[in-house]
Amino acid sequence: MAVPGFTRGFTGRARRADPRLPPGQYDVGTDFPVLTAEVTPRVRTETWTMTVDGLVERPSTWSWDEIHALPASEYRGDIHCVTTWSKLDTSFGGVSLDVLLDAAGPLPSATHVLATSTTGYTTNLPLEDVTGGKAWIVWTHDGHPLPVQHGGPVRLLVPHLYFWKSAKWITRVTLLDHDQQGFWERNGYHDHGDPWKQERYSGD
């Protein structure tokens, strides 16, 4: 019997490759691997702040309470790690980075951003990859507070790029008029990191 969406293999039914999986990626299922290149920090929400600075009209800082007062926004969809796992149908809640950038007012000369974590971890992104509904500052995952090992209380989420671009424990987004490589980009990862183009390592 032919079952739409399935192909028959040696061991019976094998699922056809999921069209949501970029090339070279596998579905990790319900697992949520932790990948941290540093010691997991302890971040207190009482003292946590988020700053947008650099080439903006109004350098701006939000406290935990202030960022929660902004219009809520949710991402539902997939995430892709360069180490080849993808996680499908995730949900993260927080605020669109557009809201913070609009408040700060990027200057016309701004072309890139550098995201910085409280740990010193950095990652670079073109401004066009974090505007237009493509990036979030998130503090919930599947309706629960974001666990510390996944960047809680607050992380960056840029799901259309490999997950190293989604800086955990984010505290700052700095607008620049040039591309300034972050931690993994200086250590051989691709500057951009589009999973559909397999932009894994510099030179890809």
Among 28, 36, 59, 192, binds ligand MTE (CB under 6 A): 36
Q: How far is CA 24 from CA 4, 94, 102, in A?
A: 24, 30, 36
Task: Enumerate the β-bridge partners of residue 172.
Answer: 51, 116
Q: Which residue is nearest to Mo ion (CB)?
A: 164
Query: From the list 112, 134, 168, 190, which residue makes contact with ligand MTE (rule: CB under 6 A)?
Result: 168
Q: Give the integer Cα–Cα distance in Å for 98 and 157.
A: 12
Instruction: For residue 69, state whether it binds Mo ion (rule: CB under 5 A).
Output: no
Among 75, 164, 183, 189, the residue binding Mo ion under the rule CB under 5 A is 164
**Which pairing describes strands 85-96 and 26-27: parallel, antiparallel, or unpaired?**
parallel
Torsion-angle region of residue 51: left (phi > 0), alpha (psi -120 to 50) or beta?
beta
124, 161, 164, 193: which one binds ligand MTE (CB under 6 A): 164
Among 69, 61, 74, smallest CA distance to 172 is for 61
Helix (H, G, I), strand (E, B) or coil at 96: strand
When CB distances are held under 5 to 8 angstroms depending on the partner's kind, the choice from Mo ion, ligand MTE, none that residue 182 binds is none
Q: How far apart are CA 92 and CA 56, in angstroms?
A: 27
Is 150 a residue that touches ligand MTE (CB under 6 A)?
yes
Of residues 35 and 69, the one with the C-beta less far from Mo ion:
35
User: Residue 144 carries which side chain, given as an amino acid letter?
Assistant: H
Residues 6+ apart with CB under 8 A from 145: 139, 152, 153
Residue 35, interface with ligand MTE (CB under 6 A)?
yes
Find the shortest distance in angstroms from Cβ 35 to Mo ion: 4
14 near Mo ion, rule: CB under 5 A: no
Q: Which of ligand MTE, Mo ion, none lies near 174, with the C-beta cut-off 5 to 8 A by kind?
A: none
Q: How far is the CB of 167 from ligand MTE (least distance, A)?
A: 5
Interaction site with Mo ion (CB under 5 A): 35, 81, 164
